[in-house]
Structure 1
């Protein structure tokens, strides 16, 4: 798959997912939905909502770089960013439902969630390192 198309589509999909979450976050504000707020951590869901948008814009920026400087277009980099774009929000999302994925400890579920969060951060960092190093070599020409 073309890395630019992958990142552009995936980034748009994440904006859509964040928008759906935003709609869900309106439910506790309705007279008939007040019970939802007692079951979820709304601050964590807000953090998830905003993080998905930021990760989407990060992918859109990478797609722009790859489209403008084709030497930087790497399917591997694009897949790492797409993976990180979905999984990097998991600690916030899970904390919204009572699982603390920020701590690598506790139950097996909490440890698995924290492990996924670590992998997502590593994926994003390695993808951006590769993208920026390739861009640096382009700029040196």
Structure 2
């Protein structure tokens, strides 16, 4: 009887199918989890190079605390600071990345650090030209529903 060979012959394709379905379902679930209106509640800047510009960093914190990120299930997004429009465009999730493309074509890629029903935490790279030089680093944004 060739049962071990038969099982071995189908084990790898079945394993690959299960892994593929698991990855696909996680990605779909992640997209479903990020859809909604998110209110900014925490902001952390990790400088990697450039001048110390406390006003710029504090301004980013203040702006983020008044911000909303609205990710619609039709693949569009809008950012609001208070009641003012701070950008809109389209979004998608690929692996652990939230990729936003603004209407002007500018793309901003966020790494998804945490996604739950109540909390969203992202990280993205910044490269900001200032009068005192270029400020580079990472910004971690936290949102809640």
Higher relative contact order (CA 8 A, sep 6+): 1
Query: What TM-score bracket applies, with the shorter chain setting the length?
Result: under 0.3
Highest Rg: 1 or 2?
2
Relative to the length of structure 2, the TM-score reads 0.27
- Bigger strand share: 2
Structure (1/2) with the larger helix percentage? 1
